Amino acid sequence: MRGRSGVSPMGKIEARLAELGIVLPDAPVIKANPALVPGVAVGNLFFCQGALGHHNGEFPYLGKVGDKVSVDEAYQSARLCAINHLAQAKAVLGDLDRIVRVVQLLIYVNGAPGFERAPYVSNGASDLFVEVLGAERAAMARASLSVPDLIYTAPVETICTFEIQP
Residue 8: pLDDT band (50, 70, 90) is low
Average pLDDT over residues 84-110: 97
Average pLDDT over residues 62-69: 97
In the chain, the domains with their CATH numbers are 12-164 (3.30.1330.40)
pLDDT at 134 over 60: yes
pLDDT tens digits for range 100-113:
999 999 999 999 99
The three-state (H, E, C) secondary structure of the chain, written as one string = CCCCCCCCCCCHHHHHHHHCCCCCCCCCCCCCCCCCCCEEEECCEEEECCEECCECCECCCCCCECCCECHHHHHHHHHHHHHHHHHHHHHHHCCHHHEEEEEEEEEEEEECCCCCCHHHHHHHHHHHHHHHHCCCCCCCEEEEEEECCCHHHCCEEEEEEEEECC
Residue 34: pLDDT band (50, 70, 90) is confident
Average pLDDT over residues 93-98: 96
